[in-house]
Amino acid sequence: MWAKGRVKLASEPKGKRFGLFDAKGRVVDIKAPIGPDWKGANGVKPILAVMVGDSLVAGCGVDDQSKGIMPLLAARVASVPVGRWPGVRSASSARPLDVCATG
């Protein structure tokens, strides 16, 4: 109760709380969060990722949501060729990867 009236919370950073990165780690413009049945124009379903946490996940300290930890992580994952992932044994099993981040 003491903190309720004394601690000032930072405002939420501007920007969208969801996003999509293509297989090269570039932002894809979408208007709303995507659901589990969504597929891209190329028919590829993205990996869905959600982060739950405190101020780090909320993006405290950044001026835009796009600079938070989830967008940075999603862009990094999306930019790694799938053929380099553990468990992918051949180029024929590798495919482009889209990553969706939502918060």
20: DSSP letter: E
- Which token pair is 38? 């969504």
**Phi and psi (nearest 5°) for 50?**
-130, 135
**93: exposed, middle or buried (Cβ count in 10 Å: 0-12, 13-18, 19+):** exposed
Token couple for 97: 């990867």
Nearest to 79 by CA among 23, 29, 40: 23
pLDDT at position 17: 83
* Residue 11 placed within a domain: no
- Contact between 13 and 67 under an 8 Å Cβ cutoff? The reply is yes
> Does residue 97 have a pLDDT over 70?
no
Residue 70 lies in a domain: yes
* Token duo for residue 59: 């993006």
Structural domain for 59, as ranges: 26-102
**How many domains, the chain?**
1
Give a yes or no: residue 97 inside a domain: yes
Which pLDDT value is given to residue 9?
76
Is 9 inside a domain boundary?
Answer: no
* % of the chain with per-residue pLDDT over 90: 0
- Domain contains 63: yes
Q: Is the pLDDT of residue 22 over 80?
A: no
- Residue 95, domain member (yes or no): yes
In a domain, 19, yes or no: no
Query: What are residue 26's phi and psi, to 5 degrees?
Result: -90, 145
Q: Is 68 among the domain residues?
A: yes
